[in-house]
Structure 1
Amino acid sequence: MPCPALAGSPLFELRDVSASRGGAPVLRGVDLTLEPGATALLGPSGAGKSTLLRLLNRLADPDSGAISLHGEDVRSLDPRALRRRACLVPQLPSPLPGTVAYNVRFGPSLVGRSVDPTRPLELAGLSSAYAEREASRLSVGEQQRVMLARALALEPEVLLLDEPTSALDEHTRAGVEATLAELAVRTGVSMVVVTHDRGQANRLATRTVNLRDGRIDG
């Protein structure tokens, strides 16, 4: 969870960050400071939102510019340790083969930690009764909550949420949004949420950053 000693420092800073995909520019000279709390990255398809999100924990690297987490250049950090601190929840859930409990315990087990899945599941809106169910047999909405619980089991400083409700129906989407809104209050975890829905940005975030054509818009 967030480190109290770093509470006064920016979460992420991006300075003159540019990135491309397949030779085509995706981000163009982005300067951005993300403070602890909940921030939405809002914009149309192709604006560069998901690319920016992936740069934050080095699932991709920029062509130029610098990115820091609490003042540390992310390139100086072990990528696996960085991804435990800044944990991505993907747009489409992709549970590991096996039970829900196995999915939740998997990440911590890689660093020698044993985790009771009950608390992460509860924070993600699932009861402990789900623990021994096969993750692959759950509904898409339930699988997305398993992805969230899997991330929370790592006790990250920040959740990187890439269109976390885009694959869900309206009723399920509202439930997942309510869970995400509660997380910041209950755990203090920061969130960076990619969305194309301004209403969702307003519901989940205290700050909205608009992107268009790879640049900060306004």
Structure 2
Amino acid sequence: MTAVLHLQSADVVLGRTTVLHDIDLRLARGERLALIGANGSGKSTLLRVLHGLLPPARGRIERDPGVRQAMVFQRPYLLRSSVSRNLALGLWLSGVPWGEARRRVPDALARVGLADIGPRNARHLSAGQQQRVALARAWSLQPDLLLLDEPTASLDPPAKREVEAVMAEFAQAGTTMVFASHNLGQVKRLATRVAYLERGHLLADLPVREFFDHAVLTRVSREADLFLQGEMA
């Protein structure tokens, strides 16, 4: 399978602290990689490295230059303006002409089930709606690679289901995805592959079925198996 990106022997240093250690990660087109691990394990940092927001202090990252990518943060930043304008501005800042940007907005909102909220102030939406607006903004960019940092954290169950449904649509469209999650059910439903991080070290990287197979996982990483036994929510 064609590689979308390849992170090789990468260390990431913030201040005087090494937060990622010797990470090797290859991502193929169409894969859906879930990053799991305790808070502070390095999931968010790794997503930022993959998106180009943080450079490795050692090692390197190779990217397919033809791949368009977008990132959705755990708490998406939305301007104090209409939903439609938030989406159009995101497109315009990415180089899309203003007229074309505005034309893309209705379809993007319809994709996430929010076709009727374009005129509303984005800051006045519920947390679940704001996350779906962020996904619509990503969708409008037509990314080949989508990175998501805890996309359903702090959402109530109905909002989680709505966001997961949008993620599933991305997957069905063939979008390559990397997402951090604390929800094992979500990982099982959406991922094709799981990577376990602990204190900045990548200790396990397996297809989803093998990761949740106790006999397989114990041979690869006892730490990851113990983590799962802790019934991560």
Show structure 1 runs of 5+ residues with no match.
1-7, 73-80
Kindly report which structure 2 residues correspond to 1:20-31, keeping only aligned pairs within 5 A, or say none: 20-31=13-24
C-alpha distance in 1, partners of 2:159/2:46? Answer: 27
**Structure 1 residue 197: deviation in Å?**
2.4
Deviates more, 1:176-185 or 1:156-165: 176-185
Q: What secondary structure sits across from 1:196 in the alignment?
A: coil
Deviates more, 1:31-40 or 1:141-150: 31-40
Is 1:162–2:149 an aligned residue pair?
A: yes
For the pair shown, which has the larger CA radius of gyration, 1 or 2?
2
Kindly report which structure 2 residues correspond to 1:80-119, keeping only aligned pairs within 5 A, or say none: 85-110=68-93, 111-113=95-97, 114-115=100-101, 116=103, 117-119=105-107
**Structure 1 residue 167: deviation in Å?**
2.4
* Counterpart residue type for residue 124 of structure 1: V
**Aligned residue number for residue 77 of structure 1:** none
Q: Following superposition, which runs of at least 4 residues in structure 1 exceed 4 angstroms of deviation? A: none
Answer yes or no: is the 8 Å Cα contact 1:120–1:149 preserved in 2.
yes
- RCO comparison, higher one (Cα < 8 Å, 6+): 1
Q: What secondary structure sits across from 1:95 in the alignment?
A: coil
Q: What secondary structure sits across from 2:151 in the alignment?
A: coil
Q: Could you state the TM-score of these two structures normalised by the residue count of structure 1?
A: 0.85
**Structure 1 residue 112: deviation in Å?**
3.7
Aligned residues: 198
C-alpha distance in 2, partners of 1:43/1:112? Answer: 37
Match for residue 137 of structure 1 among 102, 118, 124: 124
* Counterpart residue type for residue 89 of structure 2: F
Answer yes or no: is the 8 Å Cα contact 2:35–2:179 preserved in 1.
yes
C-alpha distance in 1, partners of 2:175/2:186? Answer: 18
**Aligned residue number for residue 174 of structure 1:** 161
Match for residue 191 of structure 2 among 200, 205, 209: 205
Match for residue 136 of structure 2 among 149, 154, 157: 149
Deviation string 1:152-206 (CA, Å, 9 cap, x unpaired) is 1111111110000102112211221122112221x32211101122222111211
Match for residue 68 of structure 1 among 58, 62, 66: 62
Q: Identity of aligned pairs, percent?
A: 39
C-alpha distance in 1, partners of 2:96/2:179? Answer: 29
Q: What secondary structure sits across from 1:29 in the alignment?
A: strand
Q: Could you state the TM-score of these two structures normalised by the residue count of structure 2?
A: 0.80
Q: What secondary structure sits across from 1:41 in the alignment?
A: strand
Q: From the superposition, tell whether residues 138 and 31 of structure 1 become closer, same or farther in structure 2 (CA, over 3 Å).
A: same
Q: What secondary structure sits across from 1:130 in the alignment?
A: coil
* Counterpart residue type for residue 17 of structure 2: A
